[in-house]
Amino acid sequence: MIDAIIKDQHTSTSFITFLPHNLQHQSILPKWNDILIDTHLQKFLTQISNCKNFESFINLHRNSKYRTHISDINWEATFQYFDSDSESKLITNFSSSYRKSHKIKILIEELPTIEHMKKACPDLFNNWFCPLCSNNILNNNNSQKETFSHIFHCPYNSRKFFILINNNKKFLLQLLLQYDKSFSLSFSSLNSLSFLWSLSSNYTLNFIDLVKGIVPKVLFDFIFSFVKNNSITLDILFQFYNNIYKEFMEFVWIPRCEIQLVLERSHNIHRKQKFIRRNSSNPRSNSSSSYNSSNVPLLLDQNSLRNSIYFGGIFWIFGTGLTIS
């Protein structure tokens, strides 16, 4: 019966006549959550998608610190940094794609530390600890778990980070002086940013966040106060951040990985073994973050986008919990 009806309609010569000239008298008012949308719809749909993605990112347990400091971070510059060494969006460059992927791993604290590898390969690394500061891989009083945070606080790396921080202080000053040699700049000029050169605090933005690619507003404003130009400020920032990434890799992460590989080979652990799919009985931790997130509210229901519609501007500017009654 149904097949016969479909067949008849398929061969039917009758069709619906559409008269578009009547549409000019029809008012179509697009709305989102009962709010009238007066911008280009395609652009607005992109904003909705970006807002949802941003909320998913910022609501991660490991990012609870950034929810607290959400208004202290220049999110636009932060996200632009991850594409800063791409020559063109129209060309696939494998080296820049790899760097971007690796930078994102640092941002989301997914570097393959020992604690991270235990989640995927508990049978191989169950009793392993930091390959740098522990006397051996067996559990003893001197053994330290290698979390993402431990990379920055490992005694073996303390001297390296001291040098890395000073190198990048100098590099930032050099970038500003290259723009204008008349600037009166010295190390003391960076005193207002002293907390950014620290590794000690879990509660304020610091050098660990710079390594992760987070751009504090105070740093953006500091550079802008000299160059008075947004695009030049971004260019200096991206050079500065890419240098931090480069030196972190050269001085800290790559040497650590080389030592780890030697230890793995000495215990007959090879690359293929680490990629064998396992059914891990270990619960997967949400984060290595030591920041207490119990009192940090989540961003929900695209409220920041709603406030952006009311007040204008970029939606993540309004991610501080502001609501409209």
Two structure tokens written together for 234: 């971004």
**pTM score:** 0.79
Q: Express each pLDDT in 290-313 by its tens digit.
A: 555 556 667 666 677 777 776 666
Query: Please, which residues bridge with residue 73 across strands?
Result: 216
Q: How confident is the model at residue 325 (pLDDT cuts 50, 70, 90)?
A: very low
Mean residue pLDDT of the chain comes to 81
Length of the chain: 325
With a cut of 60, say whether residue 175 has pLDDT above it: yes
With a cut of 70, say whether residue 86 has pLDDT above it: no
With a cut of 80, say whether residue 267 has pLDDT above it: yes
Amino acid at 317: I
Residue 245: per-residue pLDDT: 97
Residue 142: per-residue pLDDT: 57
Q: What is the mean pLDDT of residues 83-109?
A: 81
With a cut of 70, say whether residue 178 has pLDDT above it: yes
Distance CA 170, CA 187 (A): 8
Contact assessment for residue 324 and residue 310, using Cβ atoms and an 8 Å cutoff: yes
With a cut of 80, say whether residue 64 has pLDDT above it: yes
- DSSP letter string, 286-315: S----S--TT-PPP-TTHHHHHHHHH-S-G
Q: What is the mean pLDDT of residues 175-203?
A: 82
- DSSP letter string, 232-245: HHHHHHHHHHHHHH
Q: How confident is the model at residue 94 (pLDDT cuts 50, 70, 90)?
A: confident
Q: Express each pLDDT in 113-163 by its tens digit.
A: 999 999 888 889 988 999 998 754 455 555 789 999 999 999 999 999 999
Q: Which residues touch 89 (CB under 8 Å, ≥6 apart)?
A: 83
Distance CA 224, CA 237 (A): 10
Residue 205: per-residue pLDDT: 93
Written in H, E and C, the secondary structure of 161-209 is: HHHHHHHHHHHHHHHHHHHCCCCCCCHHHHHHHHHHHCCCCCCCCCHHH
With a cut of 80, say whether residue 80 has pLDDT above it: yes
